[in-house]
Structure 1
């Protein structure tokens, strides 16, 4: 069961990394609903290509960590250490789930924007799933 969960999680991370790479190199599709805005529609921040690329690389690293944990890949370190990485991933996504208490996360203050709606229905629940599932897998490995 844990192998299937790790593969599902790795697949999610790879798909998210590919989306970020698409934004870095080619397009703008979907990006308007992925950046928090204030009530006037102004972006709270403007991620550049280097930052977006860094996120994509991080997501790939997270996918590889999950695959190393189940032995599908052999990393540059002992696979037993992948569990520590999964604790880290769990923590990162738990912080994302909580958010900044203003524009992002479960306790966000502003809820009447396109991003806020997507955050409530997609991004925050996905962050909670990734946090809990990586935490559970970290305990198992």
Structure 2
């Protein structure tokens, strides 16, 4: 059970990292629905390639942590650091699930944009899944 869940989580992180790398090299697919906008339709931020690359690297690192937790990948440090990493991942995605209470997350007030709709039905539930699954795996492993 833990093995399969870790593989699923790692694959999600790898796919998300590949999508971010696609955006780093100039790809546009899906980008318009991934950045929150204000009430006037203006983007709340314009991520540069450096920030997007950093997110991709972070997501790959999260995949590595999940794969090392089940022994698929060997890391040069003690296993309890891997478990701490899983708790950190769980916390990061729980905060993403909660959001900023205005434009992002499950408790957002503004819900009239393409991003807001996708956030409600895709991004926030995915964040909750990644939070809970990493936390549960950290406890079980």
SS at match of 1:89: helix
Please say if residues 37 and 103 of structure 1, whose CA atoms lie closer than 8 Å, have aligned partners that are also in contact: yes
For residues 62 and 76 of structure 1, the distance between their equivalents in structure 2, rounded to whole angstroms, comes to 16
- State the TM-score, normalized to the length of structure 1: 0.98
For residues 140 and 32 of structure 1, the distance between their equivalents in structure 2, rounded to whole angstroms, comes to 38
CA displacement, residues 84-131 of structure 1 (integer Å, 9 cap, x when unaligned): 100000000000000000100011010000000000000000000000
Tell me whether 1:81 sits opposite 2:81 in the alignment: yes
Cα deviation, residue 81, structure 1: 2.2
CA displacement, residues 52-78 of structure 1 (integer Å, 9 cap, x when unaligned): 000000000000000000000001212
- Residue segments in structure 2 that go unaligned for 5+ positions in a row: none
Two-structure CA RMSD over aligned residues (Å):
0.7
Cα deviation, residue 80, structure 1: 3.5
- Residue segments in structure 1 that go unaligned for 5+ positions in a row: none
SS at match of 1:63: helix
Please say if residues 69 and 80 of structure 1, whose CA atoms lie closer than 8 Å, have aligned partners that are also in contact: no
Match of 2:115 in 1: 115
For residues 80 and 91 of structure 2, the distance between their equivalents in structure 1, rounded to whole angstroms, comes to 18
**1:1-141 aligned within 5 A:** 1-141=1-141
After superposing on structure 2, the runs of 4+ consecutive aligned residues of structure 1 that deviate more than 4 Å are: none
User: How many residues are paired up?
Assistant: 141
